[in-house]
Amino acid sequence: MTFKTGGLIVLLSLIPLSLTLTLRDSSCPSGKNYGSDSNLYWDLAENLLHRHALVFSPGVGYPGIGVRSQNPALIDDLCILPGYPALLVPFVRFGEGVGPYVLAYLLYVLLSLLVFALAKELFGAALSKRAFWGWFMVYQILNPTWIVQLRALAQDLAATTLVAFFLWVVVRCWQSQRVTAKNLLAIALGTGVALSVRTNLLAFIGSMLVLLALLYWRDRRPRMMALPAVGLALAVSLMGVWGLHIQHLTGRFSFGTNAGYCMYFNYMSPHVPPAAIDKEVDAMTRTFNQELERTGSGNQASIQTASAYQRSALDFIKAYPAEASKSMAQSLQATFIGRDYFWLPRLWLLRLRDLPLEPYADRPYHEQTQGLSKPAATAALFLQLLVYGVYILIPALALFLAAFFAREEPLLRFLAWSAIVFLVATGLIIGQARYRMPVEVVMYLCALWICSRSTAGRAAG
């Protein structure tokens, strides 16, 4: 990538930044223009900066375990890896009103540069300049996911950018076909930074490294297996250290306390009335408070509550396999083709008319567009369906096509399979559209592969 191209990408990255300033997330408190978990990440970053400890301040609550108790004193973080809070620390000094935007923009610029470099390395020779830049503008610069995430103080954009860095390292190592100290260091760095923000990324990174090792073994290049072996060793070590850290704090080896409540909510909420869920949360809160009073340890009470939620979810799966299977199917559907951020066209039309914004309202469409004329509401619906097709359905379809049919592109094929493993593993714990974000880069690359194949087909014809 030339300096001129890089500068152009940086300038183009100002387009989604300007668009994101028109948005307001209705799930956030007044005055906060970023994601609803922002208080957790910001609090951890402030405490890392001022207390040099990964702890939550009094009054934040006990995150991730599904109880309504408020912590009266500092408590240890048992559910959020330190990577993103540590990344946020230098921006705390800018304040809540500026820091999140600065970090988000820098992450997005880096993501754009990495996506461009990845696409150029894999398919640059197979596409015309117009087709390549058209794909980049659609799937990166005008992507509604990144437009929304540029105002989100959350780890999703950071996870996506670091996964893209890992992919870039893998592609460069694959193309160099050499085992060098530089490549070994690069694969270790790519694995380490990605796994510093989310434990569930192990499903993607671990799968990719295993498949890469198998590919080298199949091609009878055992020396090259040193590259994925270093990444796998580091991945296992990092996850082991985090699990032992949780064990030191709670007495039980675990990768986090949030999986229990996520499983409970994922499997039972579609089949249990909301009042019953509230009743269960109240019961768990009482149990948590009793355990806290008995042991005097919020850490032990948290891990016990997380385990109780997990047991409740597993008991439900065993007792009602049909309902649990339906929940699994719904979770996987939400993870693969959930309608994340497709409501942007309607929101912008409402914004232009200075009408109330409720992007997450679970109401009939005609109620969500009250105040808009019928042609404007129809146009918004058409644009929403277009966004859903272009950014969600087509990349999901391309992912499966690449996984099964990209035989001439073995690396892309294994990337696709690793993304599928990640999406299935994540969907079975908690099925939400935003959790596919770290591997959406892979999905967009698969869409570019289809574009390159169609271009090659027309040229051959």
Q: For 54-82, what is each residue's pLDDT tens digit? A: 999 998 888 888 898 888 889 999 999 99
What is the rounded distance in angstroms from the CA atom of residue 254 to the CA atom of residue 240?
A: 9
Region 409-427: mean pLDDT is 94
- Comparing 43 with 369, which gets the higher pLDDT? 43
Question: Would you list the domain boundaries of the chain?
Answer: 3-19+49-342+378-460
Region 273-297: mean pLDDT is 90
pLDDT band at 100 (very low <50, low <70, confident <90, very high): confident
- pLDDT of 358 > 70? The answer is no
State residue 361's pLDDT score. Answer: 57
State residue 26's pLDDT score. Answer: 47
Percent of the chain with pLDDT over 90: 58
Provide the β-strand partners of residue 55.
76
- pLDDT of 366 > 80? The answer is no
pLDDT band at 124 (very low <50, low <70, confident <90, very high): confident
- pLDDT of 461 > 70? The answer is no
| pTM for the predicted model, two decimal places | 0.92
What is the rounded distance in angstroms from the CA atom of residue 64 to the CA atom of residue 77?
A: 10
- pLDDT of 17 > 50? The answer is yes
Average pLDDT, the chain: 88
State residue 405's pLDDT score. Answer: 94
- pLDDT of 368 > 90? The answer is no
- Comparing 85 with 61, which gets the higher pLDDT? 85
- pLDDT of 233 > 70? The answer is yes
- pLDDT of 364 > 80? The answer is no
Query: What burial letters (b/e) apply to 146-167, b meaning 16+ CB within 10 Å?
Result: bbbbbbbbbbbbbbbbbbbbbb
Task: Using alpha carbons, list the distances in angstroms from residue 120 to 86, 208, 357, 452.
Answer: 31, 20, 39, 12
Residue 395 near residue 444 (C-beta atoms within 8 A): yes
What is the rounded distance in angstroms from the CA atom of residue 114 to the CA atom of residue 340?
A: 23
Q: Which of the residue ranges 142-146, 269-273, 280-284 would you say has the lowest mean pLDDT?
A: 269-273
State residue 302's pLDDT score. Answer: 93
Q: What token pair was written down for 94?
A: 């800018």
State residue 359's pLDDT score. Answer: 57
State residue 30's pLDDT score. Answer: 42
Residue of 310, 315, 377 whose CA lies nearest to 350: 377
Q: Which of the residue ranges 242-251, 349-358, 385-394 would you say has the lowest mean pLDDT?
A: 349-358
- pLDDT of 27 > 50? The answer is no
Provide the β-strand partners of residue 56.
75
Highest mean pLDDT, choosing among 233-242, 276-285, 375-384? 233-242
Contacts of 353 (CB under 8 A, 6+ apart): 371, 372, 376
- Comparing 177 with 201, which gets the higher pLDDT? 201
State residue 29's pLDDT score. Answer: 41
State residue 99's pLDDT score. Answer: 87
Q: Which of the residue ranges 76-85, 344-353, 378-387 would you say has the lowest mean pLDDT?
A: 344-353
